[in-house]
Structure formats: structure tokens, C-alpha cells
Amino acid sequence: METSIPTLSGRTSGGRVIYLDHSASTPVDARVLEAMMPFFAEHYGNPSGIHAQARASAQALDQSRREVAEILGCKPKEVVFTSCGTESDNLAIRGVAFAAAQAGKGQHIITSACEHHAVTHTIAQLCEHFGFQQTVVPVDRWGMVDPADVKRAIRPDTVLISIIYANNEVGTIQPLAAIGEIARERGIPLHTDAVQAGGYLDLNVDHLNVDLLSLSGHKFYAPKGVGLLFVREGIALLPQQTGGGHEGGRRAGTENVPYIVGLAKALKMAQDMRSTENERLVRLRDHLIQSVRATLPDAQLTGHPTQRLPHHASFVIPGVEANVLLMHLDLMGICAASGSACNTGAAEPSDVLLAMGIPPQLALGALRLTLGRSTTSEDIETVLEVLPAVVRRLSALQPM
């Protein structure tokens, strides 16, 4: 298998590939990998067994759950390990919705106009095939939900509210605690897709007033293929994957011990370095945003100017088509994205940007630069040299 990354960067940017797509995925940290390694071939027992090998796995699993619970400010048994953020969202939404419908509580779900597809498509299927109804609360031009809108949307038959913690495309952080307060007053479970927030923002579930919270390991330097769902004690959840009684009967299937160990290690590391690393990222990011706006006056920042993820810069650039821009940047050795990693290939404007009132034509020119631990100020300077030149070249390219 060929693993080198082919670019023309040797010719154009000194040979170093600059990776600015950390919201799509991050490299596995060497220390995380090291923590995982014993659980492949050395301690490989199925944690459900009773022998020595099983005990070693079970102990690692328990410890991982405790470490994660400490960061979330919850009980270990409230942590359900899953295969990814999308699975966590599916389990939360379907699990709560079906349990509530079964109990005769109703079939109404509230969500926002700037959710990830893992949430929107799951709710859409519940509506289309299982008789649920949804209210989608709007967002303002920054992509921010107004808690008062959530309050107004609540009906007697509302059984779940699902609001993203921080948006993947524009980085805006939602006022979850205020929304959670409203939900709690009315006794409605609040789920949040915290996949983008993991590793960067406060994940304490009591600070956030949430009842369910989804995370994905590979967004914070753990491998792909592992995630988790926090489910507050007392929340009724119908399992979506049945079998053995794993994960407190909420998610059947032999636990992926090495990956869970990696997720716990990575989350703990991120938590430990959070305040210093965030400060560094914000400094780099703000310099990037200010300089882009200075050199490309037509480019608009998307998302909230201050209430945004520390590593996240996103723009729309008039007269430029995102996929073409990304191709040009790639050839110059810069890995960037337009918004959602799941949308590439299709030149259609993002629903999130449209919901923020950005015109469709402009929304096609979305650029997302998400920084990470390896990002240096030299990287940012290189981007600031390359990006305006590429944009000017593309703007000069007349459409047919």
C-alpha cells in the first residue's frame, strides 16, 4: 500500500505538508499509540471472561471509563463506548426517541439548523418512517441558537432536544447551559453532539446541563473507530444494537479495548494541555483570521467571531469554488477543507451556511482551516502567502 502523500509541494512550499484539517481528523498521538499497544497482542482477553487475560482487559476498560467519567464529571456507568461519533448520535437520538414513544410520552424532537448530518439525517428518518415530528430552531448569522427559540418550540409531546455543542463547519459554540436549563425545567432530555468540542472545550456535563453527549476519538488524537456517549442515569434509552449485555445493556458488542484505552488516554492528555494549547491556538488562529481579512477583503469570516472553537477559522470567498480552491491548496502542500468532511465531491452549498443567511453562490466558496498541535506560526505565514495568490488566480479564471 502506497502511503506517501503526493503533492507538488516540493516545488512550491519548501516540501512540508501543512495540515490544517484537524476538525476532520487528527493524527494519533505517539503516547496514545503507546498506551494502546499492549492491548492488541499482549492483553487481548475478552473483558467479559473470568480468566487472567480477561481481567487485564476488564481492568483497562474500567480504568478508561473512570478516566473519561472524571473529565465529563459523571459516573463511570454513565459512559457508553461506541464505534464513532455518528454511532453515538444515532444511539442517543434513536434510543431516547423510541424509548419515549414506547412510554407514550410523545414523538416530537427539537433540533437546530446547524447540526451535523449524523443528527439531521437520523431525525429525518425518524420523521419519515416512524411518525416523529421535528421543529428545527433557526440560527442567527453567526450560526448561534437563541435559547428562547428552543423554549418556544417545546410542546407537551416533546421528548428530546438535540443541539450541537460546537459546529464543525463554522466553529460556533452554542449556549448549551442556558438551553439545558430550559430543557431541565420541562423535564426533556438534552442531547449534544460534542464531537468538535472534544479536546478543546469544557466537557463537564453538569456545567453544560446536558443529559446525553457524543464524542469521537479521532478528533482529539485518538484513532478513528472509537467514540462514546454519555447517558445520564435515569434517561430511558432503547438500545440500538442488541446482543450481549455490554456497556450496561446499552450497546452490545465486545468492547474495543485498545481503542477505548487510546480514547481515554487522548482525552486525558487533551484535558491536561487544554488551557495552554487553546491559548496558543487562539493566538495563531486570530492572526490567521485577521491577516486573511486584510489580504482578501472580500473574504468573510463564517461563524461567531469570538464564541468559536479555538482552532477553527472558516470563511466564504466570493468568486471561488471550494473544491477547486482546495485542489489548488493541496498542490501547494496545504491540506484544508470546505466545511464538512462528509460533503466533498459535490458542489452543493452547505445547509448550515444557508441557514446562517449566506447566499448559495457565496456558500460554494467555503474554506475551513482548522489548526492543531503540530501547527506552527511558520505554517500560518506560508498559508498567508499562498492563499491570497491562489484566490487571485482563481478569481481571474472566468467561468464558461
Binding status of residue 187 toward another protein by CB under 8 A: no
Of 113, 282, 335, 394, the residue at the interface with another protein (CB under 8 A) is 394
Stretches 2-10, 41-49, 62-70, 193-201: which one binds another protein (CB under 8 A)?
A: 2-10
Shortest Å, Cβ 350 to another protein: 14
324 binds another protein (CB under 8 A): yes
Residue 5 CB, nearest approach to another protein (Å): 9
28 vs 324, beta carbon nearer another protein: 324
Q: What is the full DSSP assignment across 64-93? A: HHHHHHHHHTS-GGGEEEES-HHHHHHHHH
Q: Which of 60, 306, 62, 76 is nearest to 205 (CA)?
A: 76
330 binds another protein (CB under 8 A): yes
Determine the 3-state secondary structure of 306 from DSSP: coil
Q: Which of 223, 328, 358, 379 binds another protein (CB under 8 A)?
A: 328
Using DSSP's 3-state secondary structure scheme, residue 111 falls into strand
Q: What is the DSSP letter of 385?
A: H
Closest CA to 138 of 348, 357, 308, 338: 357
For another protein, give the closer residue by CB, 103 or 389.
389
**Distance, CA of 102 to CA of 83 (rounded, Å):** 26
Cα(368)–Cα(40) distance, integer angstroms: 36
Residue 318: which of 354, 286, 359 has the closest Cα?
359
- 122's grid cell: 437520523
- Choosing from 37, 327, 341, 342, the residue that interacts with another protein (CB under 8 A) is 327
Taking the C-alpha atoms of residue 34 and residue 54, their distance in angstroms, rounded to an integer, is 20
Sheet with 300-301, strands from edge to edge, namely 300-301, 312-316, 366-370
Considering only the stretches 19-27, 101-109, 327-335, 368-376, report the one whose residues sit in contact with another protein under the rule CB under 8 A. Answer: 327-335
Catalytic residue among 84, 114, 335, 342: 342
- Of 8 and 37, the one with the shorter C-beta distance to another protein is 8
Site for another protein (CB under 8 A): which residue of 17, 85, 347, 387?
347
Output the smallest distance, CB 347 to another protein, in A.
4
- Which residue is associated with the grid cell 476532520? 24
Retrieve residue 80's grid coordinates.
457508553
| Closer of 103 and 327 to another protein (Cβ) | 327
Interface region with another protein, contact rule CB under 8 A, candidates 121-129, 191-199, 309-317, 341-349: 341-349
Least CB distance to another protein at residue 116 (A): 22
Using the minimum distance from each CB to another protein, give the nearer residue, 37 or 347.
Answer: 347
d(CA 337, CA 345): 11
Q: Is 342 a catalytic residue?
A: yes
Q: Name the minimum Å distance from CB 114 to another protein.
A: 24
Could you say whether residue 335 binds another protein (CB under 8 A)? no
Q: Which of residues 11-40 bind another protein (CB under 8 A)?
A: 11
In angstroms, the CA 386 to CA 245 distance is 54
Residue of the chain from 28, 127, 177, 331 that contacts another protein (CB under 8 A):
331
Helical (H) or strand (E) element with 367: strand 366-370
Shortest reach from residue 297's CB to another protein, in Å = 22
Between 156 and 399, CB nearer to another protein? 399
First to last CA, the chain: 39
Residue 104, CA distances (Å) to 123, 153, 156 in order? 18, 20, 12
Distance from C-alpha of 138 to C-alpha of 150, rounded to nearest angstrom: 9
- Please pick, from the candidates 291, 323, 335, 388, the single residue that binds another protein as defined by CB under 8 A: 323
Task: Give the interface segment with another protein, choosing from 98-106, 124-132, 283-291, 323-331 (CB under 8 A).
Answer: 323-331
**Dist CA 159 CA 106 (whole Å):** 6
Q: Provide the annotated active-site residues.
A: 342
> Which stretches of the chain bind another protein, using CB under 8 A?
2, 4, 6-8, 11, 323-324, 327-328, 330-331, 345-347, 393-394, 397-398, 400
